[in-house]
Structure 1
Amino acid sequence: MAGVGTDKIFENDKVIVWNFVLEPGAETPIHTHEHAYMWYSIQGAPLQIFDEAGKDLGTLEVPTGAVYSLKLEDGFLEVLSDIGKGVRVPATHKAKNTGPTPYREILVEYKN
């Protein structure tokens, strides 16, 4: 994983588009989000979130077909979309797929 996704598939002066795949039981490295972003879940799974010290911040149930929108403010990400609305996590974190199937999303970062 490089950056906030598995593979960067597009970038211009306004957005960066990532493909992101996380196999069952796999974890992302600790990473930091530097932009507000949205993602579309192509294949959902429960994602357990940890802060940079390894503290369990809870599990986000991500259903297939869900769209999430997040703002970045003061080192935290906050979910703005109806699904998950109000959830806040540190911009620096890692995630683990705790489900039995691969997780896949398309993530779009908004450059400011």
Structure 2
Amino acid sequence: MTVGALQQAAQTRREPQFENDQVVVWKSVILPNQPLMLHHHDHGRTIVALKGGTLDVVNGKGETMKRMTWESGKAYWLDVDPPGEQHADLNRGTTPVEVIVVEMRK
């Protein structure tokens, strides 16, 4: 494994998996205390927990707006985000959370 691959493996990240005119699919790996960047979801999405855990959905000030707990091997539906609301996903646990996200485009 290269140094670059090792560095990427040690960061919270999104990894594109598939995209067409109906859906966009990515894998998110959220390491403890390394939130995803602020973002917004314009469409509903299904989350499939590969490695479950608890994530805090935080606003730009780092304040927790809600907490989500996902069990490994289970799927969950998340609705469209409220207009203008951005959030980051923060893992306050001790092990990485890994999910596949299937976001509808329509």
- TM-score, normalised to structure 2, is 0.78
2:49 maps to 41
Root-mean-square deviation (CA), in Å?
Answer: 1.9
SS in 2 for 1:92: coil
CA distance in 1, matches of 2:66, 2:79: 19
Higher share in helix: 2
1:29 and 2:48 are equivalent in the alignment: no
Higher share in strand: 1
SS in 2 for 1:32: coil
- TM-score, normalised to structure 1, is 0.74
List structure 1 segments (4+ residues) > 6 angstroms apart after TM superposition.
none
5+ residue gaps, structure 1, are 76-89
CA distance in 2, matches of 1:34, 1:60: 19
What percentage of residue pairs aligned between the two structures are identical?
28
1:109 maps to 103
5+ residue gaps, structure 2, are 1-12
Q: Aligned pairs, how many?
A: 94
Once the two structures are superposed, residues 35-89 of structure 1 have per-residue CA deviations (whole angstroms, 9 ceiling, x without a partner) of 11111000011101112343222322222122111222642xxxxxxxxxxxxxx
Give 2:76's aligned amino acid: Y
Once the two structures are superposed, residues 13-40 of structure 1 have per-residue CA deviations (whole angstroms, 9 ceiling, x without a partner) of 1110101101122111111112111110
2:9 maps to none
